[in-house]
Amino acid sequence: MMKADLHVHSYHSGYARNWAWLHARDCYSSPEAVYRVAKSRGMDLVCITDHDSIDGCLEFLDRHPDTPDFIMGEEIECTFPDAPGLRLHLGAIGMTETAHREVQRLRSNAFDVASYLRQQNIFFGVNHLFMFLRDQMPIETYVRQALALAPGLETHNGAMLAEHNTLVTEIAAAFRASGQVVAATGGSDAHTLRWVGTAFTEAPAGSREEFLDSLRNGRTRTGGSHGGRGHLFLEVYGAVANHWRAILGLERHDMDARARLFVGVCSALLFPFQFVPGLLVLTMKRDERRRVEQCRRAWTDRAAPELVAAWPPAL
């Protein structure tokens, strides 16, 4: 068995969605540090999956070309064409520069991205299945489209609640019991080095190429920690601390002296409100638990019997 954390971020994951004006990055981990920490925590293979970017992978490979235990990955944010506002994250494992350029062009339609990745024989799965689902479409429609879309499901996300991961695991198991090949993947979703390698995917393999073949054929199992409020607190405030380190020039940044001064002054003025991210953590985890409970009821009452019996779906 070979083990890999298939959901990890680096400095190249871009800016935090609501704090880009402060040059606050989504992650400050260098690709080199991600690789080092993952290996120290028992990962046989290392994969970086930045948000809509492979720059972290290219940076690492530029310094360590042809590294046999490194996999180029990417977390691709797509949308459903018939559900405006509903985002979907696809974890693509084994990306290439050509594939990256093409999927970025296709991101407005998740089905176009999926079709292209299948044509290129690049494995991909749906990450944190219920993270973005609100009331954009019924759960049975959403699950049907997600399972028809991707050959894999992230059944163990280290940043999600255990209840979330358990429900996705049960969904994948239901479809496997009906004869479908659904590859289960696991990853830490780490945005700080603290959590790299704490959730993972295992597959029978003796090399990177054999590991990817096992992924495509659904011969996987997952394990590791889950993500409660304490986990997210440490993740969020770890990112805040790294942001301050970047302002002080102690962490990698993309700001000139004038920008650092401006960002430093703004961040200092906002310092009394540093409790706000903590409140957001409480809100996010409360909403995640409520959403998972609603999805579980819908899955048990309607979606499971209907979808498994009618598989494969007509989209």
The mean pLDDT of 238-251, rounded to a whole number, is 87
Measured CA to CA, the distance from residue 194 to residue 24 in angstroms comes to 19
Supply the pLDDT for residue 314: 43
Supply the pLDDT for residue 16: 84
Q: How confident is the model at residue 310 (pLDDT cuts 50, 70, 90)?
A: low
Does the pLDDT at position 111 exceed 90?
Answer: yes
Does the pLDDT at position 193 exceed 70?
Answer: yes
Supply the pLDDT for residue 269: 85
Residue-wise over 131-165: b if at least 16 C-beta within 10 A, else e? bbbeeebebbbbbbbbbebbbbbbbbbbbbbeebb
Percent of the chain scoring above 70 in pLDDT: 96
- Residue listed under structure tokens 């360590």: 64
* Whether 254 contacts 23, CB under 8 Å: yes
The mean pLDDT of 156-173, rounded to a whole number, is 95
Measured CA to CA, the distance from residue 63 to residue 282 in angstroms comes to 40
Supply the pLDDT for residue 10: 97
Supply the pLDDT for residue 237: 83
Per-residue pLDDT of 255-268, as tens digits, reads: 888 888 888 898 88
Q: Which two tokens stand for residue 45?
A: 């293979």
What phi, psi does 269 have (nearest 5°)?
-65, -30
Q: What is the DSSP letter of 254?
A: -
Fold of 2-231+277-310: TIM Barrel (3.20.20)
Per-residue pLDDT of 29-86, as tens digits, reads: 999 999 999 999 999 999 999 999 999 999 999 999 989 999 999 999 999 988 888 9
Pairing verdict, β 199-203 and 183-187: unpaired
